[in-house]
Structure 1
């Protein structure tokens, strides 16, 4: 089969997949089951996997992978979109993730309820978060109302913190245990004990509580060893270039953050395609939640497709399992205490930096305002008191970067200048060597290095292959996992909006 014919077949399969899923999936109360047999296969809204989706999606963005995940969510027509929780309420007030949702609704002609989630981390494992302002209660209320009203059990899928899900569980544990079919949570670093990862750091107490909830958990670690990681990179030009024009404009809008009406922008252009790699995490879990499996096509590409009993497979398609979920028992372990480091003494004419741990909440990620999480603090000594500072730039492993001044791209630093030095605060990103560069108004610079240890904020013990598991953990099982997921992402998004 030629590339063009294979692609055409794949798009036809995508168009009719949800129709056959709805007819054969066995969900007697699927909202469109009664009309599926006579509906036009191009008509959307044939969904029989009810799903609640929680995301740290912002506009302007923090990390554009959330926009790719949202597009994938809408592209998988098996999903009955019950609601979207916009995670991290305080940041949502400043940069609400509504515009990309409205764009996806316009592209797909699907509508979905959404609500802003809780603002602050849980203070204890049983915290119900009833004391937060009403403007931040919408996420928990949406979860509870959907579960009470849905005739079918509901998949819960999180791409940021698990704060709203756990708060909902703390309020009505019996409801969630009865009405949730699976909780897919994309967070952590796999069963290696150390969980120093962004989505965990958003709310470590909620993350730990989830493992003790008794809910049907599908753990999707962002990073980790021995294959226990969802991370891969996709080439943006390849993925977005395969999309229809309105979807291409959706990605251009989210990446370039123009001051334009989001719906009008969908019909503007043409615009240059985005380039470079895009770090991705949630693609494989979304495919699994939709009930899809991975196949290799005759043209060498890969696609995540419904079962062959539901939708005819492209001729010559071969199963290519790229990941699986492994049963495990995961328990909380005793947290390790990092010893305090003595302040380094700078040499004459130099500066010295010492990491002091996570001590106070002084700054957000893209905002100079506190965000409810303790920030990392580094003390820098030897800074000349008579030299005005123009800017500070902090770099770290995994392409981490923070700046004191607003750039519209990098995370923010907060600084308190003191006699003989300054304290700098920043959101944790990764352990390892960090470098802080001070640029003075006279054009001179000074640089200091310091190490940030592993956080170990939620240490876990894990028994893989347990006979009485409390979680299933995703493990990449194919040596070409990243390549396969990138190809699947391209092919599923190529059918979006057609």
Structure 2
């Protein structure tokens, strides 16, 4: 099977700012269609500082979670950190940032340059690193990017979506770059938590459903991240955190999810109902089965200075595409079953 080169740009922290980012990374690693070239940490300064100067509690960029997952799977994931402050304008290339914040941009550019074919870039935070990289090497980024899977923004409404608010200039700059964008908006005109909207990516599930019968090492990795563990034995801890009181506490929770569809669709899979429940299947395996229809519509799109994307569906092919699906809350139940089965399938 020819694998799809992918760079995952994520606002992954430890302790978590939102634990769905850890599950998005696990989803990428669980899909064998992807050749994961790099994990680039898209962190923002207030989340690294305790209140009152910062957001709430002190965090670190999520290096430890990337290293642990690589150990569990026996794989190597190059990882680096990008700039911590928002861009000053849509054309800012972030060269003025400290040396410690340059490695993420460098890794993105080096990974694109080294790839013999265009690369998918999944973006599940701000677009800061991607836009800064484009501003440094526009031809390279435009020509070597198959598409950006953009998990950010709202289809309508005046309220600025969370990821856009992390770096408004970066979001604006990405839309104006001419890079191919597959847009998976985190919010619709109603809210970021509307489970019915046919343009909405949002769904919700209990941890009991998502983590049922998954490998013990993966359970321990999830528990380490979700609990914000301060244990320094980051490898030994993976033998015991997936059981007992810590794990029971994790299982009692629920998870809001947005990004899953972008990754599964990019892998070429459908959401199909099998005799064993809903699963993410390649087209041949899904033939003849009931599916939950989803698609990418070509759109004409432009972003204004307030980060609002004005769009309309196009009859002809365009570089910008927008997610759509069959409406209804049953989507969340189907996604939860399918994601759990994917997690169960991880070879550990």
TM interval, short-chain normalised: 0.7 to 0.9
Matched, 1:486 2:340: no
How big is the shift at 1:317?
Answer: 6.5
Q: Distance in 1 between matches of 2:345 and 2:108?
A: 29
Residue aligning to 2:121: 156
Deviation at 1:69, TM superposition (A): 0.7
1:40 aligns with none
Supply the distance in 2 between the matched residues of 1:317 and 1:108 (Cα, whole angstroms).
33
What is aligned with 2:99? 134
Deviation track 1:199-238 (CA, whole Å, cap 9, x = no partner) reads: 0001111111211111111011011144222110021012
C-alpha distance in 2 between matches for 1:468 and 1:213: 18
Partner of 2:283: 307
295, 302, 307: which one aligns with 1:458:
307
Query: Residues of 2 paired with 1:218 and 1:175: CA distance?
Result: 19
How many Å separate the matches in 2 of 1:123 and 1:166? 12
Residue 166 of structure 1, aligned match among 112, 116, 131: 131
Give the number of the structure whose residues are more often helix, by fraction: 2
Give the equivalent residue in structure 2 for 1:71.
Answer: 26
Q: Which residue of 2 aligns with 1:243?
A: 214
Change (3 A) 1:195 1:213: farther
Which residue is equivalent to 2:55? none
Q: Secondary structure, in 3 states, of the residue corresponding to 2:279?
A: strand
Larger radius of gyration, structure 1 or 2?
1
CA contact 1:89–1:117 (8 Å) conserved in 2: no
Residue in 1 that maps onto 2:236:
264
Deviations 1:362-414 (A, max 9, x none): xxxxxxxxxxxxxxxxxxxxxxxxxxxxxxxxxxxxxxxxxxxxxxxxxxxxx
Question: After superposition, where does 1:232-381 map in structure 2 within 5 Å?
Answer: 232-260=203-231, 261-269=233-241, 270-271=243-244, 272-273=247-248, 274-299=251-276, 301-308=277-284, 313=285, 318-333=289-304
Question: What's the CA shift string for 1:45-69, capped at 9, x where partnerless?
Answer: xxx1100110000001110001111
Q: In structure 1, how many angstroms separate the alpha carbons of the residues matched to 2:158 and 2:16? A: 27
Q: CA deviation at 1:332?
A: 2.2
Structure 2, unpaired ranges of 5+: 50-58, 190-196
Deviations 1:251-303 (CA, angstroms, capped at 9, x unpaired): 1111222222222111115233422320001111010121212211113x111
Q: Are the counterparts in 2 of residues 84 and 113 from structure 1 also a CA contact under 8 Å?
A: yes
- Alignment-derived partner of residue 51 in structure 1: 6
Q: 1:107 aligns with which of 66, 69, 72?
A: 72
Please give the secondary structure, in 2, of the residue aligned with 1:266: helix
Q: Which moved more, 1:94-103 or 1:283-292?
A: 94-103
The CA deviation at 1:307 is 3.2
Q: 1:317 to 1:92 in 2, by over 3 A?
A: farther
**Distance change in 2, residues 1:228/1:241 (3 Å):** same
1:195 Cα offset (Å): 5.3
Say what the alpha-carbon RMSD is for the aligned residues.
1.9
List gaps (5 residues or longer) in structure 1: 1-21, 26-47, 336-456
Q: 1:221 to 1:56 in 2, by over 3 A?
A: same
Question: Which of 290, 303, 321 is the equivalent residue of 1:472?
Answer: 321
- The aligned counterpart of 2:180 is 216
Aligned length: 324
SS at match of 2:200: coil
**Which residue is equivalent to 2:56?**
none
Task: Measure, in 2, the Cα distance between the counterparts of 1:96 and 1:240.
Answer: 24
